[in-house]
Each structure stands twice: as structure tokens, then as C-alpha cells.
């Protein structure tokens, strides 16, 4: 994920309530407002990957207006038409994807700041699901050292997450 994607995503997230209120004032129900707002965000995030945007928030409002206009055109699908459950997607929303990417980036930065041995112990315990004795044998350290490195690494990751939440 590029810096442009992150900054566009953060700006959109900060202005989510404004955009939804803007759309809600022009449609008949909350579900339509949610759908149009989400579609606008998805299009803006997709566009920001291809081309840097000067003002992603203004672009999101413009996209929302265009979607509202498209909805009113003759031949446009009826917004009150029932949704086909088979067509529903279990895919995460653009906000969920952005949140997951930001968390992964935060986690990666926290790992990169750790000393090499601590990072290796943490990765072996979390990703490879090895026991402390297995980690100790693989890295030629004591079981107690493996436990110590893991607990310190977990503490560092927790601090990084807590600091991010405090922002």
C-alpha cells in the first residue's frame, strides 16, 4: 500500500460521517445512503491507487453526486428492489480492507524495530506455531530465553497497537 493510499484512506475515514450525511439528505433511507457512500469510497480508493488525488474528500463528494444522479436516470435499477441474497458478498468493505492493511503495516513496523533474535522467536511462535522447546532448539538458545524474547516481543507489539489507538 502506498503512502497515497494511506493518506486518502485516512482522509476518507475522517470524513465518513460528513459524506454519509450528505448522501442521506438526498436519498430515501439509510440503506441507500450506506450503499452510495460505500461505493463512493471504493471508487475513490481505487482511483487513488492509479492516480494521486489532490483532494480525495472532494472527489468522494463528487463521486457520490454522480452516483446519486445515475440512480435517478430512467432505466436505473430500482433502489427499493429486494437484494438477491445469492449476490451478496462476504468480502470485506473498503474500510475493513484499509483497516487490515493499516494494522498489517503497524505490525510490520513493530517487528522491524525489534532485535533480530526477538523477532525470530516471535515469528516462529506466532506464524510457525512452534513450541518454546522447538524454538530454543532451532535458535540454539535456552527455553527460558525463548520465553523471555517472546513475551518482550508481544509487549512491544501491544505498545505499538496501543500508541496507534491513542492517536
CATH number at residue 66: 1.10.1740
Same domain? For 24 and 79 the reply is yes
Contact (Cβ atoms closer than 8 angstroms) between residue 118 and residue 152: yes
Domain housing 36: 3-90
Residue 100 domain-assigned (yes or no)? no
pLDDT in tens, 107-147: 888 889 999 999 999 989 988 888 999 999 999 999 999 99
Angle subtended by helix axes 16-24 and 3-14, to nearest 10: 50
Number of domains in the chain: 2
Same domain? For 8 and 56 the reply is yes
Given CA atoms 69, 73, 76, 78 in this order, what sign does their dihedral have? positive
Same domain? For 120 and 158 the reply is yes
Same domain? For 122 and 86 the reply is no
pTM of the model: 0.46
Same domain? For 144 and 83 the reply is no
pLDDT in tens, 99-113: 788 888 888 888 899
Amino acid at each position: 500500500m502506498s503512502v497515497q493510499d494511506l493518506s486518502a484512506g485516512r482522509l476518507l475515514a475522517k470524513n465518513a460521517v460528513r459524506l454519509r450525511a450528505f448522501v442521506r439528505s438526498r436519498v430515501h433511507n439509510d440503506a441507500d445512503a450506506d450503499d452510495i457512500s460505500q461505493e463512493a469510497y471504493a471508487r475513490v480508493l481505487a482511483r487513488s491507487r492509479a492516480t494521486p488525488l489532490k483532494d480525495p474528500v472532494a472527489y468522494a463528494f463528487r463521486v457520490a453526486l454522480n452516483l446519486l444522479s445515475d440512480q435517478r436516470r430512467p432505466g436505473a435499477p430500482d433502489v427499493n428492489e429486494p437484494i438477491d441474497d445469492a449476490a451478496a458478498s462476504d468480502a470485506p468493505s473498503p474500510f475493513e480492507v484499509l483497516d487490515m492493511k493499516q494494522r498489517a503495516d503497524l505490525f510490520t513496523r513493530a517487528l522491524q524495530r525489534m532485535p533480530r533474535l526477538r523477532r525470530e522467536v516471535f515469528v516462529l511462535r506466532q506464524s510457525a506455531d512452534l513450541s518454546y522447546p522447538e524454538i530454543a532448539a532451532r535458535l540454539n538458545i535456552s527455553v527460558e530465553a525463548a520465553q523471555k524474547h517472546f513475551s518482550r516481543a508481544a509487549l512491544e507489539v501491544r505498545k505499538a497497537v496501543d500508541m496507534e489507538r491513542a492517536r
